[in-house]
């Protein structure tokens, strides 16, 4: 197999499948704590590379794709919520405002690293506390950065986006395709050259 997706996210698996590339999936378990003073850009890029490296270490000669998505409010990194209170406070802090969603994608093979970071602006409607609690009760927010999923019921919280929809869901398709072309992924590359 010429490509491994280092992810446990069903969304990333589905998005990568959309590109028509063959791959295997392996979950990459890494520490996602931001370093002190680390910028959101540096943070997502570092995590995407670490996820890919974590699998690439035992897969020499194979390209491994890692990715990380985070919601950014000002300079604050909003990851997955710890509990209901955390999710409600994240959602209320995003209410009626525009925030940024950053997704980094990294392809790693042995010592080679190719990467992209994509930024998308997302504008939220006004959200009340009872709306946020009702949304938490659906269980959709618990495994998602910023405590919402634009592809699910969370879509009702979004007034508009400026940028890449697939990046908000977890994998920017255009930039991922750029990387697959750059890496000349076996099979996929030759098919796209015909
Ligand atoms: C903002 C937003 C995030 N998300 C998801 C994308 C990511 O899966 C998740 C952020 O967590 P990540 O740590 O980027 O990814 P993950 O833990 O789900 O998977 P992996 O194994 O690859 O590390 O939030 C949505 O599904 N929809 C959205 O609208």
Q: Pairing state of beta strands 98-109 and 63-73?
A: antiparallel
Q: What is the pLDDT of residue 110?
A: 95
For range 131-144, the mean pLDDT: 98
Domain range summary for the chain, segments of one domain joined by +: 3-193
**Beta carbons of 19 and 176 less than 8 angstroms apart:** yes
CA of 143 to the centre of ligand 1 (A): 7
Residue nearest to atom 27 of ligand 1 (CA): 149
Q: State the alpha helices, DSSP H only, in the chain.
A: 10-18, 40-56, 84-94, 129-137, 165-169, 173-182, 188-193
What does the pLDDT look like over 56-90, one tens digit per residue?
999 999 999 999 999 999 989 999 999 999 999 99
Alpha carbons 112 and 114: distance in angstroms, whole number: 7
Q: Is the CB of 170 under 6 A from ligand 1?
A: yes
Identify which of 78, 104, 123, 144 to mutate to test ligand 1's pocket (most ligand atoms within 8 A of the CB): 144
Whole-model pTM: value is 0.96
What is the sign, positive or negative, of the torsion defined by CA atoms of 46, 105, 89, 98?
positive
Which CATH topology does 3-193 take?
Maf protein (3.90.950)
Q: Is the CB of 11 under 6 A from ligand 1?
A: yes
ipTM of the shown complex: 0.98
What does the pLDDT look like over 159-172, one tens digit per residue?
999 999 999 999 99
């Amino acid at each position: 197999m010429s490509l491994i997706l280092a992810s446990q996210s069903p969304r990333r698996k589905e998005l990568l499948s959309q590109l028509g590339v063959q791959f295997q999936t392996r979950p990459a378990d890494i520490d996602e704590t931001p370093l002190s003073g680390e910028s959101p850009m540096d943070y997502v890029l570092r995590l995407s590379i670490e996820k890919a490296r974590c699998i690439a270490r035992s897969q020499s000669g194979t390209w491994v794709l890692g990715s990380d998505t985070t919601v950014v409010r000002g300079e604050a990194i909003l990851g997955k919520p710890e509990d209901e209170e955390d999710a409600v406070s994240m959602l209320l802090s995003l209410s009626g405002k525009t925030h940024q969603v950053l997704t980094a994608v990294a392809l790693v093979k042995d010592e080679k690293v190719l990467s992209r970071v994509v930024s998308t602006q997302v504008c939220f409607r006004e959200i009340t506390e009872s709306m946020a609690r009702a949304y938490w009760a659906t269980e959709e927010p618990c495994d998602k950065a910023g405590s919402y999923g634009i592809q699910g019921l969370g879509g009702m919280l979004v007034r508009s986006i400026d940028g890449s929809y697939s990046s908000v869901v977890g994998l920017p398709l255009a930039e991922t395709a750029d990387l697959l072309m750059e890496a000349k992924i076996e099979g996929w590359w030759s098919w796209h050259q015909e």
